[in-house]
Amino acid sequence: MIKVPLENELEDLSLRQDLLQKEIAGSTNIANATMNGYFTGQQEVPMEKAIRIAEESGDNLFTSQLSYKFLGFIKSMDGKLANTTAAELDVFQRIESDERKEHKKRAERLIVENKIRELDIEELDEIEQYGMEFLDEIIVEMAIVFKIFDAVSLDIREAVKEKMPEWISKNYMKEG
């Protein structure tokens, strides 16, 4: 059974949702003493209980933090940038997009050239930098998506379930 420490994430969830520790324990059917152990960091949280907390809270940021902690997926932005508006996040997204585009033409050429010749370390670094700039842009875009879903109280897991049939029909994802 996978367990991870979640004391910081639980404290942040409690503050964001204006919930007491005992309210989270009650809504999830987790004993108060156990929940206290999770909040203080004396106990690590099993995945099944973390999922129960995420489902009960409907908190997109907490859900994203869990996917990062348990599975290593990208977590949403929970730093100072998370306190910006969607319009302000759009500005950051354009900045990241411009930085990525600075590398695009050369990186795409190198990716194709890599099919016919071995690239040197500097060329490989240029491709890697292009990928890293893409990640910066994706992180800001994810923050925008979370902000939008929070505005309409839509849980990211529900949104993904809803979109999955379309993504499968477009061959973005495989069924199953």
| Residue 88 pLDDT greater than 70, yes or no | yes
Assess whether 141 and 90 both reside in one domain.
yes
pLDDT per position as a tens digit, 93-106: 999 999 999 999 99
* pLDDT-derived band at 76, boundaries 50, 70, 90: low
* CATH number of 33's domain: 1.10.260.40
Residue 64 lies in a domain: yes
Helix 156-169 with 60-71: angle, nearest 10 deg: 70
pLDDT band at 45 (very low <50, low <70, confident <90, very high): very high
- Residue 38: count other Cβ atoms within 10 Å of its Cβ: 24
Would you state the pLDDT for residue 104? 95
Residue 113, helix vs strand vs coil: helix
Based on the fold, state whether residues 89 and 28 are members of the same structural domain: no
Task: Give Cβ neighbours of residue 174 (< 8 Å, ≥ 6 apart).
Answer: 168
Q: For the segment 136-171, what is each residue's pLDDT rounded down to a tens digit? A: 898 888 888 888 888 898 888 788 889 989 998 999
Beta bridge partners of 46: 3
d(CA 63, CA 159): 13
47: domain range?
A: 3-71
Residues 116 and 163 in one domain: yes
- Amino acid 6: pLDDT: 93
Note whether residue 174 is domain-resident.
no
Let me know how long the chain is. Answer: 176
Shared domain for 155 and 95, answered yes or no, is yes
Q: Which of 21, 44, 71 is the last residue of a domain?
A: 71
Asked whether residue 91 is assigned to any structural domain, the reply reads yes
DSSP-assigned letters across all residues of 149-162: HHHTT--HHHHHHH
pTM value is 0.64
